[in-house]
Structure 1
Amino acid sequence: MWLSRRPAAPAGPVGTAGHRPPAPPREVMRIHDAAFASRPLNPMQELAYRGAEGVIFAPHGEGWRRLRGICATELLSARRVRSFRPVREDEAGCLLRAVAAAAAAGAPVNLGERVAAYIADATVRAIIGSRFERRDAYLRMLQEGLKIVPGMTLPDLFPSSRLARLVSRAPAQIERHRRGMQQFIDAIIAEHRESRASGKDSDDDEDLLDVLLRLQKEVDSQYPLTTENIKTVMLDMFGAGSETSATTLQWAMAELMRNPRVMRRAQDDVRRALADHGKVTEDKLANLHYLPLVIKETLRLHPPAPLLLPRRCGSPCQVLGFDVPKGTMVIVNAWAIGRDPAHWDEPEEFVPERFEASGRDFRGTDFEFIPFGAGRRMCPGIAFGLAHIELALAALLFHFDWELPGGMAAEELDMTESFGVTTQLQSDLVVVAVPRVPMCIE
């Protein structure tokens, strides 16, 4: 069952600005949210997870509620996200230095690669800290896993066919990757336990794995955890926290390069607010007005997961008068909803100003704008991801002016989307950085 925009004919409740709120997403994510609170797993995902419950794909029930509670109160709370500010600022400094080095050499920079490295390193450091010696190899394996599992392989297309499993390479690749990841994660967990047992680390130095291990050890904890839970949550955190944020940041810069007027206004906003500071720090981001609108408009046109993640009907219900039987998979097309002319003026244009007076937000209450979903299965890591995006985008705009290589005109920039769980730019975002505000080297 596919849900995107609301048909024009039926009448319904009137939303903000005289627009009708999209009925199908509201039906699935609010009215019948409990019925659609589980996720379907394709055969290759089942092979990869082997029944281990995480946050993303766990079936709706007590185990999922337990882990969701840990995310809300321990792993992804505002306080915990703030605690990783030094990590983000340190990794943002690495990103800026890499861009500055390319600028000094007079060379273009592949900004997509640099941004992906920044997000990945900051995310991994938040999850497992900086102590793990094989962190780079672990990071490579995580990225390989994101490419292997989500694909529509032969066993996914023909789940009842033994021949499909025999001729497909996917099962062997997934099993090999799963064993490799188990070895890495076992080593990481053992290292963290030894560090804690030796008293080398304090609670002030907790990364997210430390938090999970502490909760597991607390006998009276309201969230009992198994080691398999912990391993799966680690994979969920990286998968949800890295690729989606990197994709959004790349699209934001691509849209700014393609829209010089918006670029100038965004840079004016950042440089005016931070003129007396000489560098971008998170505590100054609250003074920005226009940059948050740029991020919202990027999420409208380029939601990180354009089809969100599928939901499975757990009990029979009716959606728009249609009977939906138990077991039906429902896909919500956030990409189409964000471009629906019934709810957005000039929906294909990049116009951040549209959010100045509309009051629309992506927190799950405006169903014409749901890049992170809504309801029980809404993404719990919004604050974690946005913290990385806001800091890096502000820093890149503050310290550098940006040009396209070879005298390319803005309208010539290739904005073709690649197909996948996340929709990335198909071509590398190669740009020329022109230093504008010198960086403070500490």
Structure 2
Amino acid sequence: MEISWLLLPLVYIIAALALISKIIPKQNLNPKLPPGPKPWPLIGNFNLIGSIPHQSLHFLSQKYGGIMLLKFGKFPVVVASSPEIAKQFLKIHDTVFASRPALAAGKYLSYNYSDMSFAPYGPYWRQTRKIFLSEVFNARKLESFEHVRMEEMHNFLSHLCSLSGKRVVLRDHLMRFTLSSISRIVLGYKYFSESEHEKSIIKLDELIGLLDEWFFLTGVFNIGDWIPWLNFLDLQGYVKKMKDLRKKLDRFLNHVIDDHLDRRNEEKGLNSKDVVDKLLQLAEDPNLEVKLTRDCVKALVQNLLLGGIDTSATTVEWTIHEILRHPCVLQRAKEELDRVIGRNRWVEENDFSQLPYIDAIIMESIRLHPLATLLAPHYSVEDCKVAGYDISKGTMVLINTWSIGRDPTSWDKPEEFLPERFLSKEIDMLGSNFALLPFGSGRRRCPGYNLGLNVVRTTLANLLHGFELKLVEGMNSEDICVKEEYGLTTHPKEPLEIILEPTLSFDLY
């Protein structure tokens, strides 16, 4: 009996330990990790990332495979370079990887992660996505702004006609057009001046320069994000540039919001006329799950401006580069436009069901030159097993769409520009086909894809329909540069100069 009393505390201790072992998850002491290069002390694998990161990662993936583990400093980074692995992260385990890492770009350039691109997955992000889908990008809203898009399109084409015979850097005019269109839709007005005689808070060229810098800085690999004890040194100078850019953009956005508030005070009972009005209205709604502060409104307005301007212009720019490199493609596109549209009108948004070759050209351009060569990074909120490998909580995931678009198991002759590949089969661009991900997939898919596609389709089709595009004297198709300048969106390194000659009746311009 005495012995049993002595053993009783030991029994309690053993039972308690057994219970604790069940409650506390066991740490995997021998995780199965994806293959990848051996990291260096302190810097990890930063030494392997060149000035064009998606290409560096592509060449590494050819050695290590479609799923690859790197270290940026001490932090794990997994790279998906095949459609099958992208599907694992964006669909099968979407909830685990729907968040974003807390990078300097999101802190300084998106109002402390307050926009929809950089916000972590949670109540605020879900609320902003719901607002965008219901108040900005629903079919009724898009249709209500069609007249704005068509007015700006006509202004764009008329301006190009006035430059007939002159050397034109097409990117400059594409940016001007998309900025004008999106500004009228989102802001209600153009808050920039296009000539010295106009008065405004900012000049057109200055605003475009700020937007270009935003896309560059949000795409950089900032060493301080990955080696925190070096953060205060700002070795690359990126954080200083981010802070300077934030001040300039903040001045512009404050002016826009103050102007809208003044007009609302002057016009009592004013209904929301544009997206800024609607966001300010929602900011006063006490029933919102997460309150929209002034900084939240500025972050979302900035999101909409940036998302609609650079991506559309860049897609058309890359497509024109490729079309001029392939004269047979240009000829076939013009034949389709003449047959379907005729010579007496411009292409409209509802014409595209009858223009399969124009759509095929756009899809092939997006495959070879994706809008975002690396999708905005995903971030694991818990441990997960992906394709048989252990991915730990806190891992950043990069989806290399540049690699996926060149995947030889998905694409025949992947390095060649062959629009015809899209004519023989239905290929979805909206996230269900993981071999083509221009807008991402899953919860983080871009909500503005419909607006973007409308702008790209009509812009490209009308350029081809209304103008003869010629290379400048002394240049031929082999001279067109398709080297890349990296950023959150990747541009052609050398903007193309061309000459445009109107081909329709002058009363159409």
TM-score by length of structure 1 reads 0.88
1:34–1:207: structure 2 CA closer, same or farther, 3 Å change rule? Answer: same
TM-aligned CA distance change 1:286 to 1:326, over 3 Å: same
Correspondent of 1:324 among 391, 396, 412: 391
State the distance in 2 between where 1:173 and 1:334 align.
28
Distance 1:110 1:156 in 2: 36
- Tell me the percent identity: 31
Tell whether the 8 Å contact from 1:273 to 1:288 is kept in structure 2 after alignment.
Answer: yes
Paired residues of 2:366 and 2:438 also in contact (CA < 8 A): yes
Structure 1: gaps (5+ residues): 9-20
Q: Give the 3 Å change call, closer, same or farther, for CA 346–139 of structure 1 in structure 2.
A: closer
User: Where does 1:135-214 land on structure 2 (aligned, <5 Å)?
Assistant: 136=204, 138=207, 140-156=209-225, 158-165=227-234, 169-199=237-267, 203=271, 206-214=273-281
User: Is 1:128 matched with 2:196?
Assistant: no
CA distance in 2, matches of 1:144, 1:22: 31
Contact 2:111 2:296 in 1 (8 A): no
- 2:155 maps to amino acid: C
What is the root-mean-square deviation in Å for CA atoms of aligned residues?
Answer: 2.6
1-structure distance, mates of 2:282, 2:454: 25
Residue 83 of structure 1: which of 144, 155, 176 is its match? 144
Q: Residues 157, 241 of structure 1: CA spacing in aligned structure 2 closer, same or farther, 3 A cutoff?
A: same
Q: How many residue pairs get matched?
A: 426
Q: Find the counterpart in structure 2 of residue 30 from structure 1.
A: 91
Verify the 8 A CA contact 2:166 2:499 in the aligned structure 1. yes
> 1:222 and 1:74 mapped to 2: Cα distance?
17
Shift of 1:168: 5.2
Tell whether the 8 Å contact from 2:216 to 2:488 is kept in structure 1 after alignment: no
Instruction: Tell me which amino acid in the other structure corresponds to 1:288.
Output: L
Give the corresponding residue for 1:111.
170
Within-5 A mapping of 1:327-338: 327-338=394-405
- For the pair 1:63 / 2:124, whether they are aligned, the reply is yes
Alpha-carbon distance in structure 1 between the residues aligned to 2:143 and 2:190? 20
Give the AA of the match of 1:59: P
**Equivalent position to 2:466, from 399, 421, 427:** 399
Deviation of residue 206 (structure 1)?
Answer: 2.1
1:361-376 paired onto structure 2 within 5 Å:
361-376=428-443
Deviations 1:293-332 (A, max 9, x none): 1111111111110111111111100111111000101111
Indicate the residue corresponding to 1:384 in structure 2: 451
Distance 2:473 2:226 in 1: 44
Q: Deviations over 1:254-273 (max 9, x none)?
A: 11111111111111222222
Matches of residues 249-268 of structure 1 in structure 2 within 5 Å? 249-268=316-335
Letter of the 2:162 partner, please give it.
Answer: A
1:227 to 289, 294, 317: 294
Name the stretch that deviates more: 410-419 or 305-314.
410-419
* Deviation of the 1:223 alpha carbon: 7.2
Matches within 5 A, 1:264-413: 264-275=331-342, 277-413=344-480
* Counterpart in the other structure of 1:53: 114
What per-residue deviation string (whole Å, max 9, x for no partner) do you get for residues 248-296 of structure 1?
1101111111111111111122222221642233343443222111111
* 2:163 aligns with one of 88, 97, 102: 102
| Cα distance between partner residues in 2 of 1:31 and 1:46 | 29
Secondary structure of the equivalent of 2:416? coil
Distance 2:380 2:398 in 1: 11
Q: Distance in 2 between matches of 1:148 and 1:420?
A: 7
Distance 1:86 1:178 in 2: 33
Gaps (5+ residues) in structure 2? 1-33, 35-56, 67-81, 192-199
For residue 130 of structure 1, what is the amino acid of its counterpart? Y
- Rounded to whole Å, the distance in 1 between the matches of 2:408 and 2:239 is 42
Matched to 1:297, the amino acid is E
Partner of 2:30: none
Aligned to 1:14: none
Q: Which has the higher contact order (CA 8 A, sep 6+)?
A: 1
Q: Deviations over 1:23-56 (max 9, x none)?
A: 2111101111000001113234323335352110
CA distance in 1, matches of 2:403, 2:218: 25
Please report how far the alpha carbon of residue 131 of structure 1 lies from its aligned counterpart in structure 2 after TM superposition.
5.7
Take 1:372 and 1:258, find their aligned partners in 2: how far apart are those partners? 26
1:349 aligned partner, one-letter code: E
Q: Give the letter for the 1:366 counterpart.
A: N
